[in-house]
Amino acid sequence: MTRWILGLCCLLVSAPALATSLTPVNDFEDGSLFNWTYAAPSQLTNVASGGPTGAGDHWLRLETDGVSHPGGRPVTTNGSQWSGDYVATNVYAVAADLANFGAEDLHIRFAIQGAGGERFVTTDAIVLSADANWYHLTFALDEADFTQVTGGSASFADVLFDVERIRFLVRELDPGWNGDETASVIGFDNIANLPEPGTLLLVGAGLAWLGRPRRRTT
């Protein structure tokens, strides 16, 4: 019994370690941009209210006019907090809340770049309706869901060991690193890295075992 408990304690200590977060959830509550960038900086702003939970919930607002350069393409990139080893930190997916406050539906893609310049973009875009509602999107980091669009010889699996930056973009017809020239107003919130589901199940199973009733002995 003692060996069982000791082994289980080790399991509960090590399992959360596998789920180490690459970066805190980007919820924008501190008024910052969490190092998200745009080519026309004035068009990327922190809004103090109106996020997914309503009044008082901060969110990131990106506005593009679809015409001018560099402010015409809906793209936002983070090469600071989101760089690193996604394998060691057990990043399984990237999730975010998005809202489309513009006049037309938008085709959202997620992209990732390796330290060697390799760029991969989701093969299929997710349609974000122009209804001003918040939607929770999840992009699993599965090689089958991505298309390499430029540079380098490293595979998608290799890139995950040394990610340089990630980005969200609007691009309708095909995968690409640059966004379409589109007038838009997009909201972003609660951008988070998700651990491998098996890790959470492992921890849950351990806690359930510890919580089972014990038989009395006489």
Reported as a single tens digit per residue, the pLDDT across 72-99 is 999 999 998 999 999 999 999 999 999 9
Tell me the pLDDT band of 36, cut-offs 50, 70 and 90.
Answer: very high
Q: CA torsion angle for 161, 166, 168, 173 (degrees, to 10)?
A: -60
Q: Let me know if residue 141 belongs to a domain.
A: yes
Here the CATH number for the domain that contains residue 35 is: 2.60.120.260
Q: In the chain, how many domains are there? A: 1
Residue 144 token pair: 């089958």
Residue 126 token pair: 């997710």
pLDDT confidence of residue 198: 60
The parent domain of residue 74 ranges over: 2-207
Cβ–Cβ < 8 Å for 121, 146:
yes
How far separated are the first and last CA of the chain, in Å rounded? 17
Q: Let me know if residue 213 belongs to a domain.
A: no
Of 54, 17, 51, the closest CA to residue 31 belongs to 51
Q: Let me know if residue 215 belongs to a domain.
A: no
Q: Let me know if residue 158 belongs to a domain.
A: yes
pLDDT digits 0-9 by tens, 157-201: 999 999 999 999 999 999 999 999 999 999 999 999 999 876 444
Non-local (6+) Cβ contacts of 75 within 8 A are 38, 39, 167, 168, 169, 170, 178, 179
Q: What is the pTM of this model?
A: 0.82
Q: Let me know if residue 212 belongs to a domain.
A: no
Cβ–Cβ < 8 Å for 62, 38:
yes
Residue 129 confidence (pLDDT) above 70: yes
The residue whose two tokens read 């989701």 is 122
Q: Let me know if residue 154 belongs to a domain.
A: yes
Q: Let me know if residue 216 belongs to a domain.
A: no
Tell me the pLDDT band of 15, cut-offs 50, 70 and 90.
Answer: very low
Run of H or E including 18: helix 2-18
Q: Let me know if residue 25 belongs to a domain.
A: yes
Q: Is the dihedral of CA 115, 118, 119, 124 positive or negative?
A: negative
Cβ–Cβ < 8 Å for 149, 122:
no
CA distance 189 to 62: 11
